[in-house]
Amino acid sequence: KAGVTQTPRYLIKTRGQQVTLSCSPISGHRSVSWYQQTPGQGLQFLFEYFSETQRNKGNFPGRFSGRQFSNSRSEMNVSTLELGDSALYLCASSLWAGRSDYGYTFGSGTRLTVV
């Protein structure tokens, strides 16, 4: 079965612009989580969506937002980009929200570079 698909794989944006990233979960999975990964901080949790509702949120500014559609696909948006937003953005899908025993399957990520 198809894995978690993230698009685009690479993005270059200018400071002040906004960007939208997309994540299609494994078929049947209803939870999508988003993470930011940088060399210095490792993986940091952004938010988790389940049934089109945000179920949990990490400690990121309001410039970072997301949504989930009825088919479980999710998008995250970053507005007013800053150089520090350059990172690998990963999404992970799971059958259920907040159930680590079900496991999380990660996509390959979107590499965002802000110049």
Partner 1 sequence: KNQVEQSPQSLIILEGKNCTLQCNYTVSPFSNLRWYKQDTGRGPVSLTIMTFSENTKSNGRYTATLDADTKQSSLHITASQLSDSASYICVVSDVNSGYSTLTFGKGTMLLVSP
Interface residues with partner 1 (CB under 8 A) are 4, 41-45, 55-56, 88, 90, 92, 97-101, 103-104, 106-109, 111
CB of 16 to partner 1, least distance (A): 27
Q: Which is nearer to partner 1, 81 or 92 (CB)?
A: 92
- Cross-strand partners of 89: 36, 110
Residue 56 is which amino acid?
A: N
Q: Which residues of 45-69 are buried (b: 16+ CB within 10 A; e: fewer)?
A: ebbbbbeeeeeeeeebeeebbbebe
CB of 35 to partner 1, least distance (A): 8
Q: Which is nearer to partner 1, 11 or 79 (CB)?
A: 11
> CA 18: distance to chain centroid?
15
CB of 74 to partner 1, least distance (A): 15
CB of 21 to partner 1, least distance (A): 13
Q: Which is nearer to partner 1, 31 or 68 (CB)?
A: 31
Q: In 3D, which of 89, 91, 90 has the Cα closest to residue 112?
A: 89
Which SS3 state, helix, strand or coil, does residue 85 take?
helix
Q: Which is nearer to partner 1, 8 or 16 (CB)?
A: 8
